[in-house]
A and B are shown apart, each in its own frame.
Chain A
Amino acid sequence: MSVIELHKVSKHYDDTSALEDVSFDVDKGEIFGLIGPDGAGKTSLFRILVSVLLPSSGSAMMCGHDVVKDYRKIRTLVGYMPGRFSLYLDLSVEENLNFYATVFGTSIEKNYDLIKDIYAQIEPFRKRRAGNLSGGMKQKLALSCALIHRPEVLVLDEPTTGVDAVSRKEFWDLLYKIRQEGITILVSTPYMDEASRCNRVGLMQKGKILKIDKPGLITKDFHRPLYSVRSTTSNYRLLLKLRDYQWCHSAWLFGQDIHLSLTGEPAVTEFENTARAWDDTGDIHRIEAGVEDTFIELMPSTS
C-alpha cells in the first residue's frame, strides 16, 4: 500500500524551476531516502508533502489525503523535522516537547512509549535550553517533537547534516526502531553512504529524480568499465594524466584511490601497457560501481 504518492509534481519560483515532474510512491513502513546535493529540490518537495508549500502543478497524496485540499488532515498524520528552525532555542528541552504535544492536542505522557528510547538520552538535560544543546542532542529533541503526536509518516529533511559520524550512526539506529512501530519514513541526505541504510532511494539533482531503486540495485545500470587506480606518489598528478588518456570518460578522486571510467573497452593488453606507462601507477584493478559512481554518471551536466 502506498502511503505517499506523487504525480508529476512541479514547483517554480519566478523563473527558476525547483521541481520538474517528480513522481514516485512510498510504501507503508518503508524508509525511503532522497539523496542529492543542496539545490536538488529536496526541501521544496518535502514542504509540498507536509502541506506548507503549494505545488505549481501536479498532485500528491499522503495517507490517501490530497496535500492541497486536505491540508488540515495531513498535518495530524505527518511528523515533520525540517532542516532547521524546528526548535525554540529559548525554551527548555521539556518545554519544547510540551509545546509540540499541546499544539497537536496530545500529551507527553500519552505517547511517551514511542519516544522513550530517544527522549531518555536527553531527559537528563530536560531543564536545559534547547539553544545550549549539542548538535546531536538537538537532533534527538527535534525528532522527539516530530514524533510526539504519533504520526503515520515521518518526514526528515537532512537530519544528519553537520552531525558527527557517531551521532549519525545512533540516529539511523533510532530510525529503524521507529519503523518497527509501523511508521513510514521519508528522509533526505546529502551523504551518499547513507543510501545503503534505506529500503529504497531516489537520486535527485536539479529538481529531477535521476533514478529510484533499492540501494543494492541502484548501481546496476552503470555499464562503463570502471577501474580503481592508485598512485605511489601523488594521486592528484596521476589524476591529471588519466584525464588525458584517450579512453578516459571520467576520472575522480575517491579517497585514497582514483576511479577511472572508460568510454569503451580497450584491448586489455593495450590498457595495461598504457597504465604501466603512467610511471607512478601503483595499484590498478577493475571494480563495480558504487552509489557515488552512479550518481556522478547520471548527473545531467558537470560544471
Chain B
Amino acid sequence: MNGSEDIIVVKDMVKKFGDFTANDHLSFTVKKGEIFGFLGANGAGKTTAIRILCGLSYPTSGEIRIDGLDVYHERDRIKRRIGYMSQKFSLYEDLTIRENIRFYAGIFGMKRKKIVSRTNELLDKLGLLDVQNRLIRDIPLGWKQKLAFSVAVFHEPSIVFLDEPTGGVDPVTRRQFWELISDSSERGITVFVTTHYMDEAEYCDRVSVMVEGRIEALDSPAELKRQYKVNDMNSVFLKLARAR
C-alpha cells in the first residue's frame, strides 16, 4: 500500500431493480495501491456493484468517486483509467497473444511505439516471447489468466477490477498469478478483486463481505479472523453468509 490516498470512495450506494434492492447503502473506501477483496455469496450483489464502479451502470442513488471521477457524469473518463478482467471474458480466442495485446493497447489509445516496446517487455517477463504468435484458444488456461491480467494493466490504469479472475489452475500457476497482482500493487495500481476461493481472500490487504446487498464486514483478513474467533477466511465467510 502506498500512502493513504482514497482512490475509490463509495457513500450510501443503492441500486434497485424494480422492488429488488441489489445494493443496499454500500459505503467504503479503497486506498491507492491496496489489494481489496470484494467477497460475497452468489447473488449477494457483487457484480451489480462492480458494474457501477466501472461506469457500466448507474446507481439508483449514492455518491461514488473513482480516482476522483464521478460515476454519474464522468463515466467515459473512468473507463480510461481502469482495467478489467474476468475469467469468463477477457481475451479474443481467435487472435494471437501479440494481437490481443495490441488490440487492447490500441483501444486505450496508447502510442504505437510505446505499444511495441512494452509488448516485448511484457512477453519477455511472462516468458511468452517464443509463443507470441499462437492463438489464444491454443494456449493453456494458466497462460491465458496471466496474460489477461497483464493486458488489463497494460495501459497502467489507476485501478484494475478482477471479477473471479482465477479458478481451475494448478497451485503454482495460481500463485504466479497472485505475484503479478502483488507486483502491480507495489507499483501503485489498486486491485479490486472478487473470488470464491477463501484462501485467496487471505492475499488481500482488506476484504469486505457482502450478504444480501449489504456489506456485513470489512477489515483485514487477520482482524476478521480475530473478530470472529476462527482460523481461516472460509470460516469467517460461512459465519457471515449463513447468519441471515
Contacts and interface: CB of A to CB of B under 8 A. Distances in A.
Does chain A bind chain B?
Answer: yes
Interface of A: 36-40, 134-136, 161-167, 169, 190-193, 205, 234-237, 239, 252-253, 255-256, 292, 295-296, 299, 302-303
B199 A193 contact: yes
A236 B238 contact: no
B43 interface: yes
B241 interface: yes
Contacts of B110: none
Contacts of B175: 252-253
A251 B41 CA distance: 32
B202 to A, nearest CB: 3
B219 interface: no
Contacts of B197: 191
Contacts of A136: 42
Nearest to B240: A166
Given A134-B42, A161-B167, A165-B234, A38 B172 contact: no
A257 to B, nearest CB: 9
Nearest to A83: B168
Which applies to chain B's interface (DSSP): helix, strand, loop or mixed?
Answer: helix
Interface residues of B, number: 37
A10 B156 CA distance: 46
Interface of B: 40-43, 127, 140-142, 164, 167-173, 175, 178-179, 182-183, 185-186, 196-199, 202-203, 221-222, 233-234, 237-238, 241-242
Given A39-B141, A237-B186, A253-B203, A166 B238 contact: yes
A209 to B, nearest CB: 15
Nearest to B199: A255
A187 to B, nearest CB: 15
Contacts of A166: 41, 237-238, 241-242
Nearest to B172: A302
Contacts of A164: 40-42, 196, 241
